[in-house]
Chain A
Amino acid sequence: MASISFKAVTKSFADPAKKEAPIRVVVARLDLEIADGEFVVLVGPSGCGKSTTLRMIAGLEEPTSGDVFIGERRVNDVPAGDRDVAMVFQSYALYPHLSVFENIAFGLRVRKVPDVEVRKRVQEAADLLGLGELLHRKPGQLSGGQRQRVAMGRAIVRQPKVFLFDEPLSNLDAKLRGEVRAQIARLRRRLNTTIVYVTHDQVEAMTLADRVVVMADGHVQQVGGPMEVYRKPANRFVAGFLGTPTMNFLTARVDDGRMSGKGFSLAHAGPWSGEVTVGMRPQQVMLGGSGLELGEMEVEVVERLGAETYALGNVGGAHFTALCPEGEPKPGERVPVRVSPAGIHVFDSAGKRVSA
C-alpha cells in the first residue's frame, strides 16, 4: 500500500508533424494527492490526459517536468518494473502464446519466485476471480469477460502497492460491464490497496470511486467525492460531463432578481450578474407540479427507459430534457416547466460555478 502524489507534473509530446504547434501539452501542471488505500477514478473525455497521468504512475511515460511520488519515493527515474505497481490494460494485453496460468505467473517467474510459491499464489488469484477451470487454456480460447479476469489476476498475483486500471471495461458489452464493475468493487474491499482507475464512463466513476478527478484538456477540472462532484459541479464542463441524461443548459441575462432568456424566465437571485448559464438536471425539472416557474417546453420525443420516462424537446429553441410522468405529455405538446430551487446551478460566462 502506498500514497501517490503529483507535484506540478507536466507532460508534453513533441509533434514535429504540426508546424504551428510542435509541442502538445497533454497534462498541464498537475497537482494531485492520492491517499494510501484510496480508490481514485480519473474521468474525462478522450484526449483529456487521464491515461497519460495513469501511465506516469506506471512508469510507461516520463513526466516532462515535475515530480511523481509513490509513498515517500520519487519515482520519476524508476523503471516500471521496479515500482511495485500493477496495471490492467484496456486491451488486456494477455500474452497469447502462454496459458492462463503462465500469463498470471509471468510477473512472478521473471522475479524468480520459487515454483511452489508461484503455484500457490496463482491458484489463490484464480480462485478469487473464478478462473480455476481456465488455467490451462490460451487467451485466444477465452471470452472477453474471461480475458478481463485473467488480466486482473495477473495484477493481483503480484500483490502490488498500487493497482492501475486503464479503461478495463470498455471492451465488454453492457451487461458484462455491470457484472465486472461489481466484481472490481468487491475485489477492492478484499485487497484494500491504492487504486487508480481511468475511464470515460461516468457511471464507473460514480459507482467505484472514493474520489473522482474530472479532467479535460490536460487540466484537472474538479476533485471530490462522487456525490459532491455530482451535486456541486465546479464548472460547466463537469456539470455537463457527469449525470445522465446530460444537464440542461440555458443562457440567460440577470436582471432585477430574475434570470431570463429566450422562452423562459426564472425568479432566482444570487451573487451573480450579467450573462450567465443556468444548469438544471433533467431529474430536477418537473412538467407541472411544484417548484419555480421556468417557462414552456415544446416536447419533441418521449423516451421511456422503464423505471422513468423523459421528455426531450426545447425551451426557446435550446435543447431541454425533463423527467415526466408516464403517458404524458405527447410529442408536439407545449407544457409548463417548473424547477426545484435546489436543482439550479448557475455558471458565469467563463463557465465557472457562481451559485452555492
Chain B
Amino acid sequence: MQLLVHLFLVVVTLCTLYPVLWVVKMALTPSQAFAVGLSPIPDTVAADNFRSVVGNTAMDGTWVFGHQLLNSVLVSAATALVGLLVSVLAAYAMSRFRFPGRQLSMSSMFLTQMFPGTLMMVPLYAILDRLNLLDQLAGLVVVYATTSVPFSVWLLKGYFDTLPKDLEEAALMDGASRAQILVRIVLPLARPGMAVTGLFSFMTAWNEYILAAKFMSREVSYTLPVVLAQYAGTKSTAWGNFAAGALIVSIPVMALFFALQKHLVGGLTAGAVKG
C-alpha cells in the first residue's frame, strides 16, 4: 500500500515537473526556436540565453536588466511592507473592536475583490496621472498595495480571530496598553499569518503584468513581467530568452518561500491556553 502511494506521488511529481524541465531545457539550449522533443533532458548546456537576458544593455551603456530587476524587487518589497502595515492595523481593529460601520467596511472590502483588475485600469491610470505618479515605482506600489490590502485584511482578521482573547485580557490586566498588546503579544503570535500575507502581497506585485505594462513607459522603469512579455512578440518569440527570463523571475519567489517556510508553520500558540 505504502509503495503504491509513493509510486502515485512520484508519477504526479514527474507530471508537474515535466513542463518545468522543458522550460529549463529551452533556457539552456542556445537557440530562440520553439523546438523541443519528448525528452526534457537538455542536449546541450549553454548559458547564452541567460547572458543575453541579464546582459541587456541600452545604447548609452545603461544596464537595463539591472534596473528592471531592482524595480521589481523594490516595488514588490514596498508593496508587501506597506500592505502589511495597513492591513495589520485594520485587521486587528476589525477583529477586536465593535464599531459602527465595521460590517459595512468588511463587506465593501470584499466587494472590491470581485472586479477584474483590468476594469480598474482606466480609473487607476487617471488617478496616477493626477498624482503625477505615472512611470514611477511609487505609483505601482500604491496601486498594488490598494489591491492587496482588502484581501490581506480578510486573511489577517481570520488569523487574529483565532488568537485567544484571554491572552490580551491577561496583558490588559498586566497594565499593557492596546498598542503594547499589539506589538508585544499579538504580532509575535501572528507571525505565520503575517508571513503568508506578506508573501501574498509580494507575489502579487512580483507577477503583475497588465498594470505595470500600461503605467510604465520607459524600458528602464519596467518590472520583470513586462520584460518577459517583450520576448514574446506578436510576430516572433525569442523562446530561449523567454525561458531563461522565466527561470530568473521564479528564483526570488522560490528563495522567499524557503526563507519564510519556518514562519509559515502554524502551532505557535501551542501552550497558550489549556493544552
| Distance in Å: Cβ of B266 to nearest Cβ of chain A | 12
A93 touches B176 (CB 8 A): no
User: Is A60 an interface residue when CB atoms closer than 8 A count as contact?
Assistant: yes
Tell me whether A94 is interfacial, beta carbon within 8 Å: yes
Determine whether the beta carbon of B172 is less than 8 Å from that of A81. yes
A138 cross-chain contacts in B, Cβ below 8 A: 271
Report chain A residues within 8 Å CB of B188: 97
Q: Chain B contacts of A89 at CB under 8 A?
A: 166, 169-170, 273
Count A interface residues, CB 8 Å. Answer: 33
B123 at the interface (CB under 8 A from A): no
A18 at the interface (CB under 8 A from B): no
Q: Are A81 and B176 in contact (CB under 8 A)?
A: yes
Interface residues of B (CB under 8 A from A): 164, 166-167, 169-177, 180, 184-185, 188-189, 268-275
21 example contacts (A-B, Cβ-Cβ < 8 A) are as follows: A60-B169, A80-B169, A80-B172, A81-B174, A86-B173, A87-B173, A89-B170, A91-B273, A93-B164, A93-B170, A94-B271, A95-B171, A96-B167, A96-B189, A96-B269, A110-B175, A110-B177, A110-B184, A111-B175, A147-B271, A158-B174
Residues of A within 8 A of B (CB): 58-60, 79-82, 85-87, 89-97, 106-107, 110-111, 138-142, 144, 147, 154, 158, 171
By a CB distance below 8 angstroms, the chain B residues around A93 are 164, 166-167, 169-170, 272-273
Q: Are A82 and B274 in touch, CB under 8 angstroms?
A: no
Q: Is B273 a contact partner of A97 (Cβ separation < 8 A)?
A: no
Q: Provide the residues of chain B in CB contact with A91, threshold 8 Å.
A: 164, 166, 272-274
Contact between A142 and B271 (Cβ–Cβ < 8 Å)?
A: yes
- Give the CA-CA distance A96 to B170 in the complex, in Å: 12
Q: Which of A82, A93, A144 has the most CB of B within 10 A?
A: A93
**Across-interface contacts of B184 in A (CB, < 8 A):** 106, 110
A139 lies within 8 A of B271 (CB): yes
Question: Which residue of chain A has its CB nearest to the CB of B189?
Answer: A97
- Closest residue of chain A to B275, judged by CB? A144
In the bound assembly, the distance between CA atoms of A93 and B171 in angstroms comes to 9
Q: Considering residues A59, A96, A140, A171, which has the most beta carbons from chain B within 10 angstroms of its beta carbon?
A: A96
- Are A97 and B169 touching (Cβ within 8 A)? no
User: Is B269 a contact partner of A81 (Cβ separation < 8 A)?
Assistant: no
User: How far apart are the CA atoms of A255 and B131 in the complex, in Å?
Assistant: 95
Nearest CB to that of A151 among chain B residues? B170
B270: contacting residue among A60, A96, A144, CB under 8 A: A96
Asked whether A92 lies within 8 Å of B273 as measured between CB atoms, the reply is yes
